[in-house]
Structure 1
Amino acid sequence: MKRGVIVVGSVLVGAVVGLFVSSAHAADAPGGQSIANSNACMGCHAVDRKLVGPSFQQIAAKYKGDAQAPAKLASKVKNGGSGVWGMIPMPAHQSMSDADIRTVVDWVLKGAPSK
């Protein structure tokens, strides 16, 4: 019987440690990346390669030095758009808050860093 308690205790300790490790990794990810992951952005975009849409690094390179880029990209995320990167339209993300959009856009314009 005591052996069962030890195993259960080990499993519980393992689960608790795993929870803290997962939380630590989530805390290491930039806010923009976390928001992008939770709003289906990664279904069409990747950090470093083209998928359906351009990579986040391609977007950062295209808009580097453009003072209007944050506003342009925030509007494109919120309202959708097409024609800049090809014929496939980007859908609107009107359910995303303006604050979340700004966070993602700022992260993308920095080149989508992992930390």
Structure 2
Amino acid sequence: MKRDVAVFAATLTLGVAASAFVSTAHADDAPRGRMVANANACMGCHAVDRKLVGPSFQQIAAKYKGDVQAPAKLSRKVKEGGSGVWGMIPMPAHQSMSDADIRTVVDWVLAGAPSK
């Protein structure tokens, strides 16, 4: 009986360790820009491929394609908020986001919000 309990405990421990590895592997597959966007409520108003409250990330990428000033413009827009470019609904300021996190999201968006 003790041996059965020990084998069960070892099997359970390996199973938990394996599932933790699998969920970490999936998290590592997601682009850092998407993870930062999720963590900062960006996905509440934006989706990758369809308009929600604001434009999709793919629409933003298309609009700013080839604009060398786009990273700076969009970083400032995320930090300060604003309205008028995509309609009258304002985007709130995200002043608590670090400049590095903003740039990570902006770079991901300008790359077309790829899934990998």
TM-score, structure 1 length as denominator? 0.93
1:32 aligned to 2:38? Answer: no
Percent identity of equivalent pairs? 74
> What is the alpha-carbon distance in structure 2 between the residues aligned to residue 7 and residue 50 of structure 1?
50
Alignment-derived partner of residue 66 in structure 2: 65
> What is the alpha-carbon distance in structure 1 between the residues aligned to residue 111 and residue 89 of structure 2?
24
Note the C-alpha offset of 1:40.
Answer: 0.7
Note the C-alpha offset of 1:91.
Answer: 0.6
Note the C-alpha offset of 1:22.
Answer: 1.2
5+ residue gaps, structure 2: none
- Alignment length (residue pairs): 115
Runs of 4 or more, structure 1, over 4 Å off, are none
Note the C-alpha offset of 1:83.
Answer: 1.1
Note the C-alpha offset of 1:110.
Answer: 0.3
SS, match of residue 107 in structure 1: helix
> What is the alpha-carbon distance in structure 1 between the residues aligned to residue 8 and residue 45 of structure 2?
44
5+ residue gaps, structure 1: none
Alignment-derived partner of residue 81 in structure 2: 80
> What is the alpha-carbon distance in structure 1 between the residues aligned to residue 7 and residue 83 of structure 2?
59
What is the root-mean-square deviation in Å for CA atoms of aligned residues?
1.2
Task: Summarize deviations over 1:3-44 as a string: whole Å, max 9, x none.
Answer: 333333322212111111111111111111111111111111
Alignment-derived partner of residue 14 in structure 1: 15
